[in-house]
Structure 1
Amino acid sequence: MRLKTLAAAITALAIGAVAPAFAAETVKVGVTTTGVPFTFVDTSSQKPTGAMVDLAQAIGAEAGLATEFEVVAFSALIPSLTTGKIDLISAGMLATDKRREVVDFSAPVYTYGEAMFVPADEPANYTLDDLKGATIGAQVGTTFADALNARGTFGEVKLYDSIADIMRDVKLGRIKAGFGDKPIVAYQIAQNPGIGLRLVDGYQPLKAGDVALAVSKENPGLLEKVNAAIAKLKESGELAKIFAKYGL
C-alpha cells in the first residue's frame, strides 16, 4: 500500500510539474480605438474589435498563444511596447525605417496610404500645392504627418490625437483639409453618409506603406511565431477573409 501511495504521489507531482508547460502563453496586444476598421471598440460589447484585432486572435490561435488586448493611444503604442507594458502591436501601423530603429516588424499584412478629405459641399479637388499657406490637420504619430510638415508649404499642420477630431474641425471650417489613413477615412465616410465630408478625388498619397504587427527587439521568439502564423494564414486565405470582412 505504501508503495502504491508513493507511486501515486510521484505521479501527481510529475503531472503538476509538467502542466504549466502546456498552459498557453498570454500575449498582451496593444490596439487603438481610433483606427476603424483596423481597430475600434464595439459599442454593444465595449470590447476591442476590427480587422487587426481579428488578425491578432487568428495569429494567437495558430501559434498557441492566448491574446489579451490593451487599448492604447496610437502615439503611445510604441512606447508601451518598448517599456514592456504590451508584447505586440496590432493596429493600422505602417512599418517604416524610423520605427524599425526601435521595434521589429512582422511580415506585411496590408498596404495603404493617406487620403485628403474636405467638407462635402466643397467642390474643389485640391492638390497639395493648392493648400499653400493653409492650415491642415493630420494625426499625431503618423508617417504622413511628418511628410506634410517636411514640405514646409502650409501655414500650419495641426496634429490631432484622432481622425474623428480632424473630421470635426474640417466640417466646422477650422482647417482647410484633413489627412488620415485612407481605409479608415473611407470606411467612416461610407458608414456615416451624413458626416458632411468627402474624399478628394485624384489625391496621390505622399506615404504609402505596409501595415505590419510590431514586437520588441528583445523578443525575437515572438516575432518568429507571429511570422510563421501569418504565413499560414496567407496560404489558407484566412488573412484575406479577415480584411474583406471589414471592407478592406
Structure 2
Amino acid sequence: MRNFKIGILVIVMALLVSACDSGESTSGGSTLESLQEKGVVKVGFANEKPYAYEEDGELKGGAVAIATAVFENLGIEEVDGHLSDFGQLIPGLGAGKFDVITAGMAITPDRCDSVDFGEPEMQYGEGLIVATGNPENLHSYADIAANPDITVAVMSGATEKDFMIREGVDEKQIMMVPDIPASFAAVASGRAHATTGTEMTIKMALESADQNKLEFVNDFAQPDIEGVPSFGAAAFRIDDDELREAYNAELKKLKESGEIAELIEPYGFTEEMNVVDPALTTESICNGENY
C-alpha cells in the first residue's frame, strides 16, 4: 500500500511539472489566462537607466513603458516590476520568480537556447567610458585588443564581454563586476582603464553619477560584428507560447501605430536611432540571418 501511494504521488508531481513546462498553470488554465484573471504580471527588469530604473519610488524607463502598455492592452492592469542584477534575469525567469523579463535584453543565439524572446522592441549600439582625458587613447575594442596592458570592467551577464573577445581582446583583460556603479568605480580608482556597455545605459548613468574622473568616448567606433547593433526584447519561458504570441500581437500594434516611439521618447530614445525596422524578426536574429 505504501509503494502504491508513493507511485500516485510521483504521477501527480510529474503532471504538475508537465503543466508548468507547457505554459499551463496548475489550476488548469494557461499562463496568459491566469495572469488576466489575477490582473497582475511579475516582470523582471535589469536596473539599467534608461531601460528600467526607480525614481521617487516609481519604476520608469523605456522597457517599463513598453511592457506596461502591452500588458494593459492584454487586460493585465498591474505590472509588478522587480529590479534585478542583469545576470539574474534569465535564472530568475527559469526559477519562476518572474513571468516575463525585459530590459532591452539583447537577442543572441546563445540566449535563444535558454528563453523564448518576443519580437524586437528597440535597437542600440555600444559605448565606452574611460578616465578623463582618455590617457590610453581608446576609441574602439580594437584599440583595447592592441594593448594587452589595458583592463576593461564589464557588468556580469552583459554581451560586451563576448563582443570584445570577438574583436581580439584577451579574456584576461576583462574584469567582471556586478553592476554599472562597480564598473565606474573600477575605472575611477585605476583598477581598470575603461568600461563598456550599452551606449545609452552607460552614457546616462555617467550623467547621473556626475563623475568628474570619467568621460564618455564620443567617437567610439562600433564593432563590425554579429550582434551590433543589438536588438532588445522581452523574454519568456521556453514553450510559454500563448503568452509570448499574445504579447507579440499587442507589440505589433504599438509598432504599426508609431506609439512605441512615443513611449520611449521621454527616456532619451529616438525613432531614428532606436526604433526597430518592422521587417526584422526574432527568428532571423536568433539564426544570425540579419548580420
User: TM-score range with shorter-chain normalisation?
Assistant: 0.7 to 0.9
Match of 1:31 among 34, 39, 45: 45
Provide the secondary structure at the position in 1 that maps to 2:239.
Answer: coil
Matched, 1:130 2:147: no
Measured in 2, the distance between the counterparts of 1:21 and 1:145 equals 36
State the alpha-carbon separation in 2 of the partners of residues 40 and 234 from structure 1.
23
Q: Name the CA shift for 1:38/1:116 in 2 (closer, same or farther; >3 Å).
A: same
For residue 232 of structure 1, what is the aligned residue in structure 2? 253
Q: Give 2:243's aligned amino acid.
A: L
Q: Contact between 2:115 and 2:238, CA under 8 Å: does it hold in 1?
A: yes
> Which runs of structure 2 are paired with 1:131-170 in the superposition (5 Å)?
131=144, 132-133=147-148, 134-150=150-166, 151-153=168-170, 155-170=172-187
TM-fit CA distance, 1:152 = 4.4
Equivalent runs, 1:83-98 vs 2, <5 Å: 83-98=95-110
1:22 and 1:59 mapped to 2: Cα distance? 13
Q: In structure 2, the residue corresponding to 1:27 is in which secondary structure?
A: strand
1:175 to 184, 189, 192: 192
Asked if residue 76 in structure 1 is aligned to residue 88 in structure 2, the reply is yes
Q: Deviations over 1:87-142 (max 9, x none)?
A: 11121210111000011111111111221111223353433343321111111111
In the TM superposition, what is the alpha-carbon distance from 1:235 to its structure 2 partner?
A: 2.0
Give a deviation string over 1:135-182, Cα, whole Å, max 9, x none. 111111111212324534365200111111111111222111111110
- Alignment partner, residue 215 of structure 2: 198
Q: Aligned ranges for residues 202-221 of structure 1 at < 5 Å?
A: 202-206=219-223, 207-221=228-242
Distance, in Å, in 2 between the alignment partners of 1:85 and 1:153 is 35
Larger Rg: 1
Gaps of 5+ in 1: 1-19
- Decide which structure has greater strand share: 1
Secondary structure in structure 1 of the residue aligned to 2:255? helix
Cα shift readout 1:13-37 (whole Å, capped 9, x = no counterpart):
xxxxxxx99745432100122x101
How far the C-alpha of 1:201 sits from its partner, in A, is 3.3
Q: In terms of mean alpha carbon deviation, does 215-224 or 129-138 score higher?
A: 129-138
2:264 maps to 243
Pair 193,225 (structure 1): closer, same or farther in 2 beyond 3 Å: same
Q: Which amino acid aligns with 1:137?
A: A
Tell whether the 8 Å contact from 1:24 to 1:64 is kept in structure 2 after alignment.
no
The answer for the alignment partner of 1:48 in structure 2 is: 59
Question: In the aligned structure 2, how far is the partner of 1:168 from the partner of 1:205?
Answer: 24
**Range with greater deviation from structure 2 (174-183 or 112-121):** 112-121
RMSD between superposed Cα atoms in Å: 2.2
User: Given residue 185 of structure 1, which amino acid in structure 2 is its aligned partner?
Assistant: I
User: Is the alpha carbon distance of 1:200 and 1:60 closer, same or farther for their aligned partners in structure 2, counting shifts above 3 Å?
Assistant: same
